[in-house]
Amino acid sequence: MIKATGAELSGHRCQFTVWAPFRKSVDVEFEAPDHKAVHLEKDKYGYWSKEVANIMAGTKYRFILDGIKPYPDPASKAQPDGVHSWSAVVDEHNYVWGDSTWNGVALKDLIIYEIHIGTFTDEGTFEAAILKLDHLLELGINAIEVMPVAQFPGSRNWGYDGVYPYAVQNSYGGGTGLKTFVDACHQKNIAVILDVVYNHMGPEGNYLAEYGPYFTGKYSTPWGKALNFDDAYSDHVKAYFLRNALMWLDDYHIDGLRLDAVHSIIDHSAYHFLKELRQSIDELQIKNRRRYFLIAESELNDVRILEPYEKGGYGLDAQWTDDFHHAVHALATGEKDGYYQDYGKINHLAKAFRQGFVYDGEYSSFRKKTVGNSPQSMASSRFIVCIQNHDQIGNRMLGERVAGLVSFEMLKLMAGIMLVSPYVPMLFMGEEYGENHPFQYFIHHGDSDLAEAVRKGRSKAFKALKSKRKMPDPQAKETYNHSKLKWNFHQHPEQRALFTYYQYLISLRKQGLFSVFFKRHLDTEVHEQQKLLMVRSKDARPGIGILLVVFNFSKEPQYVNTPGFTEMWYKVCSSSDEHWRGKGCTSKVLLQKGERITVAPESMILYKSENS
The secondary structure of 277-331, three-state, reads HHHHHHHHHHHHCCCCEEEECCCCCCHHHCCCHHHCCCCCCEEECHHHHHHHHHH
260 labelled catalytic: yes
262 assigned to a ligand binding site: yes
324 assigned to a ligand binding site: yes
Compute the residue count for the chain. 612
181 assigned to a ligand binding site: no
pLDDT digits (tens, 9 = 90+) for 278-335: 999 999 999 999 999 999 999 999 999 999 988 989 999 999 999 999 999 999 999 9
Cα angle 564-356-327, degrees, rounded to a multiple of 5: 85
**pLDDT at position 478:** 97
**pLDDT at position 466:** 63
Residue 361 φ/ψ region, left for φ over 0, alpha for ψ in the -120 to 50 degree band, beta for the rest: left
| Number of alpha carbons in the 13 Å side-chain half-sphere of residue 245 | 29
392 assigned to a ligand binding site: yes
Residue 140 φ/ψ region, left for φ over 0, alpha for ψ in the -120 to 50 degree band, beta for the rest: left
Residue among 330, 322, 350 nearest 410 (CA):
330
Cβ distance 338 to 366 under 8 Å? yes
Say yes or no to pLDDT of 426 above 60.
yes
Say yes or no to pLDDT of 612 above 70.
no
325 assigned to a ligand binding site: yes
| CATH superfamily of this structure's domain 6-88 | Immunoglobulins (2.60.40.10)
395 assigned to a ligand binding site: yes
pTM for the full predicted model = 0.97
Which of 161-175, 180-194, 370-384, 519-533 is least confident?
519-533
Cβ distance 485 to 437 under 8 Å? yes
User: CATH topology of 6-88 equal to that of 522-609?
Assistant: yes
Phi, psi of 224 (to 5 degrees): 115, -150
**pLDDT at position 464:** 72
* CB count in 10 Å sphere of residue 38: 16
Helix, strand and coil percent figures for the chain, each rounded to 5: 30, 25, 45
206: pLDDT confidence band, cut at 50, 70 and 90?
very high
Say yes or no to pLDDT of 525 above 60.
yes
**Mean pLDDT, range 571-576, rounded to an integer:** 95
Q: What is the C-alpha to C-alpha distance for residues 538 and 542, in angstroms, rounded to an integer? A: 13
pLDDT digits (tens, 9 = 90+) for 429-464: 999 999 999 999 999 999 999 999 999 999 988 877
Burial 104-143 (b: 16+ CB within 10 A, else e): bbebeebbbbbbbbbbbbeebbbebbbebbeebeebbbbb
52: pLDDT confidence band, cut at 50, 70 and 90?
very high
Of residues 183, 260, 577, 602, which has the active-site annotation?
A: 260
**pLDDT at position 610:** 67
511 assigned to a ligand binding site: no
CATH number among 2.60.40.1180, 3.20.10.10, 2.70.70.10, 1.10.3720.10, domain 522-609: 2.60.40.1180
The terminus-to-terminus CA distance of the chain in angstroms comes to 63
Cβ distance 558 to 544 under 8 Å? no
Say yes or no to pLDDT of 584 above 60.
yes
Say yes or no to pLDDT of 564 above 80.
no
Q: What is the C-alpha to C-alpha distance for residues 102 and 143, in angstroms, rounded to an integer? A: 13
Distances (CA, A) of 207 to 84, 284, 495: 9, 30, 46
- 299 Cα distance to chain centroid: 14
The average confidence (pLDDT) of the chain is: 95
Say yes or no to pLDDT of 553 above 80.
yes
**pLDDT at position 498:** 98
* CB count in 10 Å sphere of residue 79: 27
326 assigned to a ligand binding site: yes
**Mean pLDDT, range 199-217, rounded to an integer:** 97
Cβ distance 505 to 431 under 8 Å? no
259 assigned to a ligand binding site: yes
611: pLDDT confidence band, cut at 50, 70 and 90?
low
- Please, what sign has the CA dihedral across residues 596, 597, 602, 604? negative
Which of 91-100, 321-330, 418-427, 565-574 is least confident?
565-574
Residue among 121, 134, 137 nearest 177 (CA):
121
Domain boundaries, the chain: 6-88, 522-609
The secondary structure of 506-526, three-state, reads HHHHHCCHHHHHCCCCEEEEE
Of residues 8, 297, 409, 435, which has the active-site annotation?
A: 297
Q: What is the C-alpha to C-alpha distance for residues 264 and 226, in angstroms, rounded to an integer? A: 8
**pLDDT at position 2:** 84
Say yes or no to pLDDT of 155 above 80.
yes
- Please, what sign has the CA dihedral across residues 559, 564, 568, 573? negative
